[in-house]
């Protein structure tokens, strides 16, 4: 089952609508640092509606289409197809995640190489890495000393503390099955 964080902590704050990805459910994957973390969407199927090699389409939430400012921003030159394997998260070599909107949207990681220093088929390890952008608290969360290594195999999603992104279908799809433990 799911462990809900208190609604008071998972509510969609109006003043944050324009500066953060929206919280579409009662789940909010907050770190112990601040509320500037990445929201989690429950009961969302990460399987692509188009193909196994493209970024998935979330319910009424297409990252490739134009939406309102309360939605996740549009990413320019957004081709997340893996150049290696359909069973792994794509590699973004020197990929610019700058939004086509403003600095209040997704963080800017210009020419940021997400390739793993261990294996090209696994998520990179960002041990003791600060994922904050050089801009403001409207960016991705801080995962200090956070290891994204998979405890399963090179073709599965990594296990993060207290919730499991392993696919219940196959190695080429993924569901989010959060099991949040509020510290």
Is residue 87 very low, low, confident or very high in pLDDT (cuts 50, 70, 90)? Answer: very low
**pLDDT score for 152:** 27
Euclidean distance between CA atoms 30 and 1, whole angstroms: 19
- Region of 77 please: left (phi>0), alpha (psi -120 to 50) or beta: left
Of residues 4 and 132, more confidence is placed in 4
Euclidean distance between CA atoms 3 and 177, whole angstroms: 10
Is residue 110 very low, low, confident or very high in pLDDT (cuts 50, 70, 90)? Answer: very low
**pLDDT score for 130:** 30
Average pLDDT of the chain is: 29
| CA atoms 75, 78, 83, 87: torsion sign | positive
Tokens at residue 4, please?
């809900």
Euclidean distance between CA atoms 17 and 35, whole angstroms: 13
In angstroms, the first-to-last Cα distance of the chain is: 18
**pLDDT score for 71:** 31
Inter-residue contact 23 to 10 (CB < 8 Å): yes
DSSP-assigned letter for residue 160? E
**pLDDT score for 122:** 28
Angle at 61 between CA 64 and CA 21, to 5 degrees: 95
**pLDDT score for 14:** 30
**pLDDT score for 138:** 26
- Nearest in space to 27 (alpha carbons), one of 46, 47, 12, 49: 12
**pLDDT score for 88:** 29
Is residue 117 very low, low, confident or very high in pLDDT (cuts 50, 70, 90)? Answer: very low
**pLDDT score for 59:** 26
Which residues lie across from 164 on neighbouring strands?
A: 159, 177
Is residue 11 very low, low, confident or very high in pLDDT (cuts 50, 70, 90)? Answer: very low
Q: Is the pTM of this model over 0.85?
A: no
Euclidean distance between CA atoms 162 and 179, whole angstroms: 6
What is the mean predicted confidence (pLDDT) over 168-177? 29
């Amino acid at each position: 089952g799911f462990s809900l964080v208190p609604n008071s902590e998972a509510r969609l704050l109006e003043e944050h609508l324009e500066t953060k990805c929206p919280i579409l459910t009662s789940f909010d994957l907050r770190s112990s640092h601040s509320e500037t973390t990445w929201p989690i969407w429950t009961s969302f199927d990460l399987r692509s509606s188009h193909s196994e090699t493209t970024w998935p389409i979330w319910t009424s939430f297409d990252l490739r289409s134009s939406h309102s400012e309360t939605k996740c921003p549009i990413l320019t030159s957004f081709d997340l197809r893996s150049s290696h394997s359909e069973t792994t998260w794509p590699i973004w070599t020197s990929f610019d995640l700058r939004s086509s909107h403003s600095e209040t949207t997704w963080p800017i990681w210009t020419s940021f190489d997400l390739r793993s220093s261990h294996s090209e088929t696994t998520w990179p390890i960002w041990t003791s890495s600060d994922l904050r952008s050089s801009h403001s608290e409207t960016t991705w969360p801080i995962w200090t000393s956070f290891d994204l290594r998979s405890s399963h195999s090179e073709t599965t999603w990594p296990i993060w503390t207290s919730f499991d992104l392993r696919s219940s279908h196959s190695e080429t799809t993924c569901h989010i099955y959060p099991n949040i433990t509020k510290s």
